[in-house]
Amino acid sequence: MKGKQIFILIFIFIIYNADSQLLVRESFRDVMITPEKDTLIITRSPGDWWFGPFASITPFSNLYFGKLALPKFKEFELQELFKKIEYNGGIGWGYNVGLYGEWKKLDYNYGAALRLSLIDVRTSNSSKELNDSVRTIFENKIDYSYLSISPSATYEFKKIAGLFAFGGFDIEVPLSARATQKKRFFYSEQIDDLYNMNLQDLNFRFGMHLGISYDLFSANITALARSQISLYMLINSGTNQISDFGSNLNSFSIKTGIVIKIGPDRKTIDTLFYNPNQQEPLFALASANVSTGVNYQRVVTTFVAADLAFLEIPEIKIEAPVEVEVKPTEVTQVVPPTKPTKQIVIGKREVYNYPRSETDYELSKELKEYLDALAQFLISNPNTRVIVEGHNDDRGGSVQENYRRSVLRTENVKNYLMRKGIAASRILNTGYGATRPLVPNTTAANRAKNRRVEIIVER
């Protein structure tokens, strides 16, 4: 029971501390602002190693075949060793609990796994009816205990994400085997004679196994690692189990089980250092009518701020002969833009949805109005930056397609701001696909809420 309790406690701990989501093999990207105002972009991808507990059960699918021989009597003398009862096979059940390890690179189809069964319990049940006058029946049950090591090679089916085949061999070290034999016969009434014995001639066992597994569920654990829950089924068989009293018993098993494996993520960190002296691009819209005695006129060209990283205010030079009277210069400035109707609040998360369909990337009128106001705010506040996060619902196709669509939404927002004169280094955009829904994707209205961009302004 102790092994079962440990397994249940580990399972509860992982579920309680995990940010659950559907199976995702894609990389995560986290954005952090340090106290020094530097921006850290942390990319996390699945690592090569996975570890965790596993448990399996053999639900009356231990099939025993061969010969099992045990003495007929509880107390027997040397000459009575030949008075044995022989059973032909039987059935039984079992369970095992242990530790699991796996190695597999994300881009490889092949990998390796290892199961170490610390608790491996099996039973066999057999019966033998004698054709005698008292209708004698012998019933036998044997409880086996092993320590098992099972290395495997694994293969992932790329067309069905999360589905694996595996196969390998088993090394089974016998720890104990205890037989319980019941003799039942009828002599005026039913009489039962029950006795136990410890079997001694146990064999070191070598076997083979084949199976399939499916990664059913994945969870993100505290931004450091991720866990997966996998279900599996395998068949195995091996060499002779016991040799007591001339026995030659073997078995064929079908097992089903669950693995909870945890793998540390591989991290790469990009740093965008904060530059307190960074200046925004300067731009000016002006027209000048300069009149002289020779009717000289000059017009300053209008520039689009998004086309240049830096634009100096044009300098107007007037050259005129000394003897010519220079009339006053008239300079007309363009009227400054009106105050934006949208108010920008630092730290507030602005959410804009895409209600039409899963493939909708276009900026709505409301979103454009907000981005116009945001661009003016960023120009007026050069020490701020903006984070754009894209999301999608889970009906848009595969995990990769949902991720790509969420990124496209953020890129549309970024490009719009860049056309307004905002430097690309001040816009941090990332997509999360369908991994962070606001509400369950159970209705069309809920899925429309999950198709969104979220925009946050930070210093």
Helices (H), 72-204: none
For residues 291, 292, 297 and 299, what is the CA-based torsion angle, rounded to 10 degrees? -60
Q: What's residue 46's pLDDT?
A: 81
pTM over 0.75: no
The answer to whether 59 and 255 are in contact (CB under 8 A) is: no
The answer to whether 43 and 268 are in contact (CB under 8 A) is: yes
DSSP single-letter state for residue 37: -
Write down the domain spans for the chain: 16-269, 278-336, 338-458
**How far from chain centre, in Å, is Cα 283?**
48
Q: What's residue 404's pLDDT?
A: 85
Q: What's residue 206's pLDDT?
A: 95
Does domain 338-458 fall under CATH 3.30.1330.60? My reply is: yes
| Residue ranges for the chain with pLDDT beneath 70 | 1-27, 73-82, 188, 222, 275-341, 396
The answer to whether 190 and 184 are in contact (CB under 8 A) is: yes
Please state, as a whole number, how many other Cβ atoms lie within 10 Å of the Cβ of residue 184. 17
The answer to whether 142 and 123 are in contact (CB under 8 A) is: yes
pLDDT tens by residue, 138-174: 889 999 999 999 999 999 987 887 899 999 999 999 9
HEC-encoded secondary structure of 305-368: HHHCCCCCCCCCCCCCCCCCCCCCCEEEECCCCCCCCCCCCCCCEEEEECCCCCCCCCCCHHHH
